[in-house]
Amino acid sequence: MANLKHEIRSNDARDASVARVDMKLELVVIPVSDVDRAKEFYARLGWRLDADFATGDDFRVIQFTPFGSGGSVIFGKNITAAAPGSAQGLYLIVSDIEAARAELLRRGVEVSEVFHGGSVYAGTDEPYLFGRVRVSGPDPEHRSYRSFASFRDPDGNGWLFQEITSRLPGRGLSLDVTTLTELLRETETRHGQYEPTAPKHHWSSWYAAYIAARENGRTPDEAAKDATLHIEGARDRVPA
């Protein structure tokens, strides 16, 4: 990797005067041959079912969202011309690849052993971000971006876990100003409802837990419960 050319670009002064339009990648189409079989598989992963719409026998669209993801997948009937199983290199970012792999195995999903890249990129293995050589085991130095595990859906669409524990500059999660403003106002309202009966705490802890829960797809009621448990659980863990 020492000789690998790379460029990391952050937003800088050169872009400051340029008006930009937010463009959020939110949907990936997965081509499948058997819609019900695919639905059962993605439900077994524990992903949230967002929609299952049909019009007669000629059209059907199903949407799932992985837990904690801002993007979703859709599949169905007459929504893509791509051949079933042709979607490859679909990356799911996780903070603990061993835990993510163990969770899939617990759910009865076949998943590869953890692997990482080496100093050689040409080989005979299935290609991924670090070439065609898959070295068994996690990255020896446990570096971010370097450890992977792969699995497939029943049609052969290819997924990979990639472990990221710290991101490159400028690659963190971001919300647009309008969305963040609305979420903060919602959080303020919910916290105001909790505060009269709450134990002593700093508002920021409740806000953080609530916003994290909402970003992970929880409803306002569920997020309020999670934030309350976070505060009261932290209180219970404080030594006497």
Q: What is the pLDDT of residues 120-131, one digit of tens each?
A: 899 888 989 899
**Residues 29 and 74 sit within 8 Å (Cβ to Cβ):** yes
Rounded mean pLDDT, 53-82: 94
The helix/strand count (H/E) of the chain reads as 5, 9
- For 184, counting Cβ atoms within 10 Å of its Cβ (0-12 exposed, 13-18 middle, 19+ buried), the class is middle
Instruction: Say how far apart CA 171 and CA 176 lie, in whole Å.
Output: 15
Report the DSSP beta bridge partners of residue 77: 60
pLDDT score recorded for residue 237: 45
Question: Residue type at 156?
Answer: G
**Among 134, 143, 147, 150, CA closest to 168:** 143
pLDDT per residue as tens digits for the range 133-170: 999 999 999 888 999 999 999 999 999 999 988 766 55
- What letter does residue 33 receive in the DSSP assignment? S
Question: Tokens 């949230």 identify what position?
Answer: 48
pLDDT per residue as tens digits for the range 32-57: 999 999 999 999 999 999 999 999 99
**Residues 32 and 16 sit within 8 Å (Cβ to Cβ):** no
Question: Which tokens hold the place of 232?
Answer: 């009261």
Give the whole-number percent of the chain exceeding pLDDT 90.
61
pLDDT score recorded for residue 73: 97
**Among 104, 24, 28, 102, CA closest to 65:** 28
- What's the fold here for domain 22-85? 2,3-Dihydroxybiphenyl 1,2-Dioxygenase; domain 1 (3.10.180)
pLDDT score recorded for residue 146: 92
Residue count of the chain: 240
Question: Residue type at 110?
Answer: E
Angle, CA 166 vertex, CA 162 and CA 171 arms, to 5°: 85
**Residues 114 and 101 sit within 8 Å (Cβ to Cβ):** yes
Query: In the chain, where are the structural domains located?
Result: 22-85, 88-172, 177-237
